[in-house]
Amino acid sequence: MQCNALVRSVYEACFRGLWVNYAAEEHQLVGMRQGVSPKFETIVKQLHRAPGAAPSGVFAQSKALAWDALCDYSHGGGRQLARWQNEEEIGPSHPDHEIPGLLRLLVHFASASSLGMHDAADSVGTLKSEILDELQKALALIERSTSVTSRPHGTG
């Protein structure tokens, strides 16, 4: 499994956790307890409308930049397949220089999640700037990342 596939799990868990804490409506929380979870698109839209979030635009921006690529890696799409072949053979072809950037990305998502959990314990209803700052740092890494946003060869 490719590291980007794992990044998607952390990314989605971060956003879903922040959504539960800051944006979910009561009927959605009831649904969650019954095993019904909204689509990620709904979560992103509601997070954008959460108190304190809209000016940053970080939720919609990061989804626009990263979601399709991260899903590709998680579900065996073109990006994932491109990472398992080169001109000469089929096998792993993951550049080692991308690993530190992916680890930094995970740190920012983990930090945002941790700050959100801390807020949940204090029953704070507005997204703190520290959470948005961590997500902005992650967004900057996503924007620079060739591994997350680039298309595999021959796919557009």
In total, how many domains does the chain have?
1
154 belongs to a structural domain: no
Q: What's CA 82's distance to the chain center, in Å?
A: 21
More confident residue, 151 or 11: 11
pLDDT at 156: 43
61 belongs to a structural domain: yes
15 belongs to a structural domain: yes
**Using the 8-state DSSP alphabet, how is residue 156 labeled?**
-
CA dist list (Å): 128 to 48, 116, 131: 13, 8, 6
57 belongs to a structural domain: yes
The mean of the pLDDT values for the chain is 80
CB 47 within 8 A of CB 12: no
Q: What percent of the chain has pLDDT over 90?
A: 23
Domain that holds residue 104: 3-149
More confident residue, 38 or 113: 38
Query: Among residues 116, 91, 105, 97, which one has the least CA distance to residue 21?
Result: 116
How far is 113 from 130, CA to CA, in rounded Å? 11
